[in-house]
Amino acid sequence: MTTVDDLWYLADEATQQAEQTYHRLAQGDDDYLEFNTTKQVSRRRFRTVATRIEDNGAPYGAHTLTQRPNGALLLVRHDAIDLWVLPGGETDTDETFYEAAVRELQEEAGIKAEYDGLGMLGKVTFECDDHTTWGVLPLYEAHTAPVEPTVQDPDGEITEARWFDELPADTRDREQLSLWREQDS
């Protein structure tokens, strides 16, 4: 019996959704930094991210670039991947990316912020064997008073939240965040 591999179809459907999502987000704002990144992943991981992308165009949901008045950036520690990351995550049912970013910032750092719009819009390409797809990574820009973060993550993935004047070496997407900080100053 021959097994049919449907990854090509899933990848195509995901790419179509990503294109629609990208154009919808790009229409609403024009003062953001774009970036592209490519990740080689296993077949299992490819299927997971392609399914997420097919759902709403984004493999990782939405995140927030939160700064204090002095320019310090808020990062949270994601233990499962052992990196400092921006607060954020997947959308809940019928939730916009913006609403997800606001909710995730509250859950992962206990902080409410004033949002300025889209700060960065990423295209994340995923490759596995002969399959390729991509998804959108919306990063919303926000600012807040100098409050101390408090982790309240119901998923238990985030164990620490801190402000950083300089990005730690083990920061996910460090290069892109450094470019954004340069542009924002």
The rounded distance, in Å, linking the Cα atoms of 64 and 180 is 13
Distance (Å, rounded) from C-alpha 73 to C-alpha 129?
37
* Beta-bridge partners for 7: none
**Considering the entire predicted model, what is its pTM?**
0.91
Query: For the domain bounded by 7-184, which CATH number is listed?
Result: 3.90.79.10
Q: How does the average pLDDT of the chain come out, rounded? A: 92
pLDDT tops 70 at residue 185: no
Q: Give domain limits for the chain.
A: 7-184
**What confidence tens digit (pLDDT) does each residue in 128-148 have?**
999 999 999 999 999 998 889
Tens digit of pLDDT for each residue in 41-54? 999 999 999 999 99
Q: Residue 122 gets which letter from DSSP?
A: E
Question: Which pLDDT band, with edges at 50, 70 and 90, does 4 fall under?
Answer: low
d(CA 129, CA 40): 9
